Structure 1
């Protein structure tokens, strides 16, 4: 007698999880999962591998969903050139991305082709806020400068006295989950004199209280009043380059800058000029323009502590984030709607 066969839905996985292994194994049992291993440093090679996988499945109708995880800067952006073969059949309805930011994904283009793009908004919250805290202290105590002085054999000779967080006004640009977590951490560890913030919309009184009594101010007042400016906003058309020469000009002399959001929020040329002039006393940066090959200035300036976009790369953060990515895939394949869409097909 003839038997009815049910074709499993198909998923293209760009890489495999390091920690959410059980969840991935369950996904592989439920669906037909093809794994493409990205090249660690060659974007063109990674794109070629994706295109080859899509071509191999084209005769069967293509994929229903695709996902990628973390540490993708070597082969991002996830643009039309990379993804067109995956979406060409019209069958693929989900592109599930790791990380909170999605400025490197062509999400509007994907929506026009009927595909959701998802992120993991809560996955990197604590890890990135911890990194902001580390860079906050590193900037205030000028950790790069003091370490270089000691390593060069001069002990603390010539070092200036540093600032204390308790005496300062800390300004937060962008009060989403990461900004609020950062405010809560600094308020609990060493309460600054004042925490102020600017956001697209004001938080509720309860959220402001939980964020160390943070006060909502205008963008201009944030720039004029902050002794430390910590950047946590997403990179959008509105925020890209929103801190440039005119904005640095109205900041306090000797301001400190911390950035764990996206490098392009600050105009790089104006930022470098502000550091060289002393307008910015010191900075702590985890994000840059042109990652993973930032301007050499950031690698040589003794008043800047740098990290390689590493805030979200802790064991707990990656495990949670991987779980969120796979949960978005499963929710879409089972119900047709993902948990964390950033667009609307």
Structure 2
């Protein structure tokens, strides 16, 4: 019986030893070093032939593109598992993977702390005008143009999507203490009593009470533009919108309009629809705090993500399944 192969597709920075320890006894480890998508497709028949598992990091897209239908359909029939490094997996066509019998896992939980603290920073910066103040002091303007800000302890935070990241943000924000509201498809059973749940039919009621809306919905076809004109206008006048999920989950044009006409008081954005490109209109809005997708940019989080993705591959080889199958591939 041929020894199975694992293809390392993208960066492993922190878990080199774990890669050898966890996968070395189970499979041959092959590094994807194709400089282009065309080269990758050619070598699927040679150097990469016989691969069974794939470790995937988004950095591989710089060379071979995303795992769209074209790429997934060209993978060898031997491929059974793609272990994606990341909580969001919008760069993988999971429906085509399912049709081909390929399982896909992600790394939920590993990113919770780093992304939640990023969201918390954006909440505080936007509420207290800290990013404007920093630009002022660097430009020799001191407090010019700064209006009295709000104490976070006086604000109501609404969390759209109470998954691992949203839940961790709720815990952190409660320490101020902020009032916490949340909306998810279903109430989260382990949520403390201080977090108030609002189902879809009461969403406008939640938004009307909201000072800060933090978005934590995953990007899928059905969630593109999920938060748009209607939702922004339902928010309290002067409210702040924070997004650390994916740029396309919100309607950016509607957000900019609502800030320009004064309905929204500002925003904190770590993600954008066309990264790394940022809409230049955002640079003209001083009440918007901008970050270059820093949500998981900590060595601690990245190490946890790498190890968790590797663990999913190890579990597949040893027991036939990993613990972090994406929801679309879980059996109902």
| TM-score (normalizing by structure 2) | 0.91
Q: How far apart are residue 320 of structure 1 and its match?
A: 0.6
Q: Secondary structure at the match of 2:143?
A: coil
Q: 2:240 aligns with which of 256, 274, 293?
A: 256
In structure 2, the partner of 1:214 is 195
Q: Secondary structure at the match of 2:85?
A: coil
Partner of 1:36: 32
**1:1-345 to 2 correspondence within 5 Å?**
6-26=1-21, 27-37=23-33, 45-57=35-47, 62-69=50-57, 71=59, 74=62, 76-86=65-75, 89-188=76-175, 190-192=176-178, 194-204=179-189, 206-209=190-193, 213-217=194-198, 218-342=202-326, 343-344=328-329
The alpha-carbon distance between structure 1 residues 16 and 236, as it changes in their structure 2 partners (threshold 3 A), is closer
CA contact (8 A) 1:15 1:69 kept: yes
| 1:294-342 Cα deviation digits (max 9, x unpaired) | 3222344322111111111211101110001101111112222122111
Q: CA deviation at 1:254?
A: 0.7
Per-residue deviation, 1:71: 4.6
SS in 1 for 2:45: helix
1:159 to partner: Cα distance: 1.2
Mapped to 2, the partners of 1:94 and 1:117 lie a distance apart of: 6
When structure 1 is superposed on structure 2, of 217-226 and 248-257 the one drifting more is 217-226
Structure 1 residue runs of 5 or longer lacking an equivalent are: 1-5, 39-44
Per-residue CA distance 1:271-294 (angstroms, 9 max, x = gap): 111111122211111111011223
Deviation string for 1:194-214 (max 9, x for gaps)? 21111110122x4224xxx11
- Comparing 46-55 with 214-223, which one deviates more in the overlay? 46-55
Equivalent residues of 1:169, 1:227 under 8 A apart: yes
Q: Following the alignment from structure 1 to structure 2, what is the Cα–Cα distance between the partners of residues 124 and 274?
A: 30
Q: Which sections of structure 2, spanning at least 5 residues, go unmatched?
A: none
Distance in 2 (CA, whole Å) between partners of 1:226 and 1:125 is 23
Report if aligned partners of 1:55, 1:85 keep a CA contact under 8 Å in 2: no
Write the distance in 2 (CA, Å) between the matches of 1:238 and 1:84: 23
Moved more, 176-185 or 268-277: 268-277
Distance 1:158 1:344 in 2: 52
Measured in 2, the distance between the counterparts of 1:7 and 1:55 equals: 16
SS of corresponding position for 1:95: strand
Which runs of at least 4 in structure 1 moved beyond 6 Å after TM superposition? Answer: none
Q: Distance in 2 between matches of 1:48 and 1:305?
A: 39
**Counterpart of 2:167 in 1: which secondary structure?**
helix
Question: Is the partner of 1:170 in helix, strand or coil?
Answer: strand
Given that 1:120 and 1:325 are in contact with CA atoms closer than 8 Å, whether structure 2 keeps it comes out as: yes
The answer to whether the 8 A contact 2:5-2:51 is kept is yes
Q: Distance in 2 between matches of 1:133 and 1:167?
A: 15
| CA distance in structure 2 between the partners assigned to 1:74 and 1:226 by the alignment | 39
TM-fit CA distance, 1:77: 2.7
Q: Is the 8 A contact 1:73 1:292 kept in 2?
A: no
Deviations 1:125-163 (A, max 9, x none): 111001111111111112222122222221112211111
The 1:46/1:334 distance shift into structure 2, 3 A limit, reads: farther
* Cα pair 2:11 2:59 within 8 Å, conserved: no
Give the RMSD, CA atoms, in angstroms. Answer: 2.0
CA distance in 2, matches of 1:235, 1:208: 27
